[in-house]
A and B are shown apart, each in its own frame.
Chain A
């Protein structure tokens, strides 16, 4: 279970990223954030986003049409 949950389902590019960036501010350093999204483009975009911002992607799963990402805040 992640420390925080962000529901970005139904949102399209770039909103899941923008919301995740905002939500991450409320996560403690070393804490985790789970993001739920339905935008298939979010899969690749989140990989790039975490790489560029120096955070760690702990898990990336697809459950039907819902994608879930767990991020560890490192920056």
Chain B
């Protein structure tokens, strides 16, 4: 990426692994890379899920009062209590995936491949890999292992640092 006219840098700490929260980091990483920035993503805690070879992401209505699905021309809220009913979160996930397709929104798999193709650097947090008993073999090709100091050193050289 050093031949780009814009050699600014961005880093991101990715901590969440649900379908909805997977979007912001990958959208920003791929767009920044397309704009010529050098991008580093540091995956920790549930964010590690986003590096697994086979993605099986879902959304939950629990603790998400802002989640309102467009249905029958209305926006239907999802009270916390309904997520306790078996199948509700699965239905919400299916509905979200349906909308994603219908509206021409990229899938996470697509954005993740685009990130890898555009040389976005990915660091998997060693400590949470140990904690959740993951190995790099569980993950896509590309991520390297690192810890807090690795991230901080990189972040000091960045123009944008985000925590998602």
- In the assembled complex, B31 has its CB within 8 A of some CB on chain A: yes
Question: Nearest CB to that of A48 among chain B residues?
Answer: B35
One of A12, A18, A54 near B34 (C-beta < 8 A): A18
- In the assembled complex, A28 has its CB within 8 A of some CB on chain B: no
B37 to chain A, nearest CB (A): 8
Residues of A at the B interface (CB closer than 8 Å) are 10-15, 17-18, 20-21, 39, 48-49, 52-54, 75
Which stretch from B57-65, B102-110, B119-127 is at the chain A interface? Answer: B102-110
A12–B31 alpha-carbon span in the complex (Å): 13
Q: How many residues of B contact A (CB 8 A)?
A: 15
Known: A10-B104, A12-B103, A12-B104. A18 touches B4 (CB 8 A): no
Interface of B is mostly: loop
- B4–A53 CB distance below 8 A: yes
- In the assembled complex, B30 has its CB within 8 A of some CB on chain A: yes
The 3 closest A-B pairs by CB, nearest first: A54-B5, A21-B34, A52-B35
A13–B6 alpha-carbon span in the complex (Å): 21
- B35–A13 CB distance below 8 A: no
- A18–B114 CB distance below 8 A: yes
Residues on A with beta carbons closer than 8 Å to the beta carbon of B30: 14, 18
Known: A52-B35, A53-B35. A15 touches B106 (CB 8 A): yes
- In the assembled complex, B136 has its CB within 8 A of some CB on chain A: no
A75–B34 alpha-carbon span in the complex (Å): 13
Known: A10-B104, A15-B104, A15-B106. A53 touches B36 (CB 8 A): yes
